[in-house]
A and B are shown apart, each in its own frame.
Chain A
Amino acid sequence: MTEHLPLTDEERAVYEWQIWVDDFREAGQEKLKGASVLISRVGGLGSVVAYELAAAGVGTLVLAHAGNVKPSDLNRQLLMTHDWLGKPRVESAARRLRELNPRLNIVAVGENVSEDNAASLVEQVDLIVDCAPLFEERFAMNRQAVQQRKPLVECAMFDLEASITTMMSGKTPCLACLTPEKPAAWTREFPVFGAVSGTVGCIAAMEAIKVLADFGQPLTGQLLAFDLRDMTFSKRSISRNPSCSVCSGLDDSCST
């Protein structure tokens, strides 16, 4: 799926420990170097996803996040810092990622994903990680991921709980199969610890790396749900909805 780009000696030195992973090796690292990922919001979840993907050597990150850093961001949005309060979040994120990995190509977009920009943002990348809080923007991104046949890593958190799945257009459920409409009880702001968003963010980054470098078994057709309050982890089968308004027209097998 992704282009192989040869590594420099500096890159071989930086990524040495992960190149030692048997089913990844230098060929996997070359795929990551040639890969591009859209991260929809670099908040509690997306900050950690972006940081791990930057550390792992993904070539290009497209970051979409509107607004300025607020005090209430700082318990979990690890790319935001106290000295950046009141300044654009996406610039704080880009600054911190460049400190970690100066080789990284960053496209910083000071907007959230919407119906207006979803198509052009998704066109630019090989894979999307959804870290957004609003169902409207998640649904807009899902439609584009399905139409453009791009893998979508879906992650979410609440309180000490979190869930994650990896969606492959036409092969696995899409977001609209899983959640056909916004739940009435959902609120824009909710209780959560940064360690919870960080945990699921790390898992999301690993899912993206596995898909981009084509190794391991991603969470396709499965929802990993966990509660860090009692450390319960469950892996559940999820199913395509034959009457899904977004993906039911695709002619791939409907089984997961």
Chain B
Amino acid sequence: MAMQLTIRYETLLKRATGVATQTLEIAEPCDVREVVKQLAEEVGDSVRPMLLDSSGQLQRSLLLFVNDQQIVGDMQCTVTDGDDVTLMTPISGG
């Protein structure tokens, strides 16, 4: 049976995608970075560069959370059915 994740977009990503949340089906548990790459295939050309760099790797500036825990550097994190993945572009003051 397919597994379902909740994807949350915040800040510039929310504005660019036009949605706050979506569900994503995955076939089996996988590393959260694979989830982001799967999303990058769906979001369209204007949003994809906010997720992936020109070599297809996650943007270093992207803030990534699984169940409200940040995933940084080379930290591994396998996501599975019911997990919550939040993607956020850093923001500033002004």
B37 to chain A, nearest CB (A): 17
Q: Is A237's CB under 8 angstroms from B68's CB?
A: yes
B5 to chain A, nearest CB (A): 17
Q: Is B92's CB under 8 angstroms from A133's CB?
A: yes
B9 to chain A, nearest CB (A): 11
Categorize the interface residue count of chain B: 20 to 34
Give which listed residue, A182, A186, A236, A241, contacts B73 with CB less than 8 A: A241
Contacts of A225 in B (CB 8 A): 10, 88
| Per-position binary interface string of chain A over residues 40-69, scored 1 when its CB falls under 8 Å from any chain B CB and 0 otherwise | 010111100000000000000000000000
B44 at the interface (CB under 8 A from A): no
Q: Beyond A158-B12, A236-B69, A237-B68, is A181–B92 a contact (Cβ under 8 Å)? A: no
Q: Which residue of A lies closest to B71 (CB)?
A: A239
Give which listed residue, A182, A192, A236, contacts B94 with CB less than 8 A: A192
Q: Beyond A158-B11, A161-B11, is A236–B68 a contact (Cβ under 8 Å)? A: yes
Which chain A residues in 167-204 approach chain B with CB under 8 Å? 173, 177-186, 189-190, 192, 197
Q: Is A239's CB under 8 angstroms from B70's CB?
A: yes
Contacts of B12 in A (CB 8 A): 158, 183, 185-186
A140 to chain B, nearest CB (A): 14
Q: Beyond A177-B72, A185-B12, is A158–B91 a contact (Cβ under 8 Å)? A: yes
Number of A-B contacts (CB under 8 A): 115
Interface of B toward A, CB cutoff 8 Å:
10-12, 14-16, 20, 49-50, 59-63, 65, 68-75, 86, 88-94
Contacts of A130 in B (CB 8 A): 93
Q: Is A161's CB under 8 angstroms from B10's CB?
A: yes
CA distance A182 to B74 in the complex (A): 19
Q: Which residue of B lies closest to A200 (CB)?
A: B93
Q: Is B68's CB under 8 angstroms from A183's CB?
A: no
Give the most central of A44, A180, A225: most B CB within 10 Å. Answer: A225
CA distance A45 to B93 in the complex (A): 6
A134 at the interface (CB under 8 A from B): yes
Q: Is A234's CB under 8 angstroms from B68's CB?
A: yes
Contacts of B73 in A (CB 8 A): 241-244
| Per-position binary interface string of chain A over residues 187-229, scored 1 when its CB falls under 8 Å from any chain B CB and 0 otherwise | 0011010000100000000000000000000000001010100
Q: Which residue of B lies closest to A130 (CB)?
A: B93
Q: Beyond A236-B65, A236-B68, A238-B70, is A186–B15 a contact (Cβ under 8 Å)? A: no
Give which listed residue, B60, B69, B94, contacts A237 with CB less than 8 A: B69
Q: Which residue of B lies closest to A177 (CB)?
A: B72
Q: Is A235's CB under 8 angstroms from B68's CB?
A: yes
CA distance A244 to B60 in the complex (A): 12
Q: Is B15's CB under 8 angstroms from A159's CB?
A: yes
Q: Is A44's CB under 8 angstroms from B94's CB?
A: yes
A79 at the interface (CB under 8 A from B): no
Contacts of B20 in A (CB 8 A): 227, 230
| Per-position binary interface string of chain A over residues 73-97, scored 1 when its CB falls under 8 Å from any chain B CB and 0 otherwise | 0000000000000000000000000
Task: A41-B94, A130-B93, A135-B90 are known; give 6 further A-B pairs, CB within 8 A.
Answer: A41-B93, A131-B93, A132-B94, A185-B12, A189-B94, A239-B71
